[in-house]
Chain A
């Protein structure tokens, strides 16, 4: 007796169709899984029989072999519980095989036969759509998530009994509520209007958002670096549906999606500096999970206390910063996760934290300062266009300040600037100024004569390096885009030079 249903296994973020074949033959009662099942799938063996029996069906008291094909792909995740159970039920003729082949099945079973919310259902649904299947059968709790994929019949069942009922024609699944993407475009719980003062930092973050630049914030403890970084996500342009789906998919795979709705707010991730390498970049031994860099995809990755992060963790950020993706190599092959994020790093100006603070003296000995500066100017700094000092404000300075502008008007300006970049770079494959390679930036930035002269002057006067020159140029281009100027003017360059490229190398040497 033979049955065949379709399941999906998720590798990285991508779902792969798996044929689940069940055979019931002579022999002592047993269940054997073949076809490279991973540990969590192997684990399901003992769970499926009680689930089937609890749901009111009969477990065949013979030798059952379930094969997962293709056999060269390691099957991960608990989502294969349901297809395995359905395969056995089909093979034992408890379910009519007629309509089965049009549906993909995914879901974890409990011992009582109910279907439990399962990570990665969005990826499953996408794979089903790609395979031109009629629909997917998923746990009821994942209904909204599966419904994000258009043109797919979603059968969201609370338990195994309903799934069988659907195919016997005795149960009709509820129609999942259609997702309304017209809701709040950001859904953020914080807003820029909550930041008092810090006009320079606000401006710098606006520029960062407009050009997609990475940012280094240097400041004493209590200056408000975290508060500022968190709000950068709120002024980035609204995500397209495609981007939102990518983000939702990643969070779904990581099991971090609550409610299964489309994630329309840009993610903000701030891993602690003790984060492990797999947690930061993706990986894990039993279950391959996207790392913080991928959870921050299309959003902001905030590294507070940059200097406290392990060296290999910081080094590991280079690949995602360059390529917008991260490749996790494992014994069974390598897996790729998308990871295109805006990096905001924060660091103290010196080991004690008070260098440059007018009201508190820094007690760091010179040689420690030097060592600190050397460590800070490490490899990551190449990828950070905007560096600025966030001063700790005095009470009076705070009282002087009115509440700042909210996120919405800033985001409008940012979007306008991004649109100008998109038009300019149409066909080049680069979405924003920050991602332009230096030589190309020099060619396409459209810089006025006086602006060039000023940049050249900065190379001499401020000891700007070649890289620093390119970064200043790109930031100036973004400032001009915010200004709506077709050509970069000298004033744009002047302002760009404030977000100084040699802050760490030279500026931190100063004692205020």
Chain B
């Protein structure tokens, strides 16, 4: 986090790679080539010096795939510009003053960012919150609470706009009235995943949507892991809520660790596939957090007040404590030594207060119930 160029462990773009109108146009063309990723382009760029020179290398067939060579003749910077204008996006280039300094310290930094919406956040005021698309209700609640807490503390929440945890953290931030940034794994004009158009629009209104791909680039599998390095790179810290063992969340967390960012992870049961990424990160040195309060405290963003514990009767408290993970109502009845009808009545009361939810015929405690059981 400290001293952007203090140690340059990875090759970066040469100064002036994208400066000037001509190089800017060349950079737009380069960014549209599917066969050219920053990793292959970076070593060449050091010798070539400018984006324009790289485009010429591609045109001669000395760089990139055969398809790139044919495609580069067809590409027109003007049409990219027109498409950018159509969707209201702007470019932030390597040599632009707006280019986020924290991104310069990561490996394979993008030489161009397409941005729709407001300003990009300063590193100190940005935290990434990522996790699984297929998440649990608990994970979603937590991501939302974290997003809300960060936004209330004036921190920008950065995530990937995917379903599940990503969407919940964005929504939490929007609820908290703070800016939030979504980094896409497709062209800047995409509304992907399907059904996220409304969310992306709200993010654009209250923060920014970012991509390293120009309009029209389709969402392809390889672009999502690549997107994760930008999510991690934009922030001073990353929070991983839920993720499986080979998930994108784990990639984001590992990137963040590599880039020297603070990493936080929320643990869950050992046998839960969704807890594998957080547990692995905790083993690798991430900090374990149990709540949004833990996170805010650790980031020095104010005291973690967890709010007063809900006011419960002894029977209700006992019912809450009988819920160890998703639990059958029969078992709750047995533990409390009451009839099933009474146990169901208790559980329903708790559910109406948002402290319990039913999942597939079993009941589990919600995030809101945690302070109640922790107090004893």
Contacts and interface: CB of A to CB of B under 8 A. Distances in A.
Interface in A374-402: 388-391, 393, 397, 400-401
B341 A495 contact: yes
B86 to A, nearest CB: 27
A507 to B, nearest CB: 7
Contacts of B345: 491, 494-495
A397 B360 CA distance: 15
B360 A494 contact: no
B352 A461 contact: yes
Given A397-B328, A462-B352, A497-B348, A203 B341 contact: yes
Contacts of B361: 200, 219, 356, 388-391
B137 A498 contact: no
A457 B342 CA distance: 20
Contact of B358 (A389, A393, A457): A389
Contact of B360 (A197, A366, A391, A491): A391
A200 B332 CA distance: 11
B77 to A, nearest CB: 37
Interface in B2-58: none
Contacts of A397: 328, 331
A244 B329 CA distance: 37
Contacts of B360: 220, 349, 355-358, 389, 391, 510, 512
Interface string A328-367: 0000000000000000000001000001111001100011
A85 interface: no
B271 to A, nearest CB: 9
Contacts of A357: 360
B359 A356 contact: yes
A510 B136 CA distance: 8
A366 B164 CA distance: 11
A367 B195 CA distance: 9
Given A391-B328, A397-B328, A512-B326, A495 B348 contact: yes
B329 A200 contact: yes
B75 interface: no
A113 B331 CA distance: 67
Contacts of A494: 344-345, 348-349, 352
B352 A497 contact: yes
A491 B339 CA distance: 13
Interface size range on A against B: 35 or more
A266 B273 CA distance: 46
Given A390-B361, A495-B344, A199 B135 contact: no
B258 interface: no
B333 interface: yes
A429 B284 CA distance: 72
Contact of B348 (A203, A356, A367, A498): A498
Nearest to B340: A199
Contact of A200 (B325, B328, B357): B328
B60 interface: no
B136 to A, nearest CB: 7
A370 to B, nearest CB: 9
Contacts of A479: 341
Nearest to A512: B359
A61 interface: no
B362 interface: yes
Contacts of B326: 358, 512
A438 B85 CA distance: 57
Contacts of A391: 328, 360-362
Contacts of A401: 330
Interface string B314-357: 00000000000110111101000000111011011100100001
Interface of B: 134-137, 163, 193-195, 273, 325-326, 328-331, 333, 340-342, 344-345, 347-349, 352, 357-362
Given A200-B340, A494-B345, A497-B352, 8 more contacts: A198-B330, A203-B341, A357-B360, A366-B195, A389-B358, A397-B328, A491-B345, A507-B358
27 contacts: A199-B328, A199-B330, A200-B329, A200-B330, A200-B340, A203-B344, A356-B360, A358-B360, A361-B273, A366-B163, A390-B361, A391-B328, A391-B360, A391-B361, A400-B331, A454-B352, A457-B352, A458-B352, A491-B342, A494-B349, A497-B352, A498-B358, A500-B358, A510-B137, A510-B357, A512-B136, A512-B360
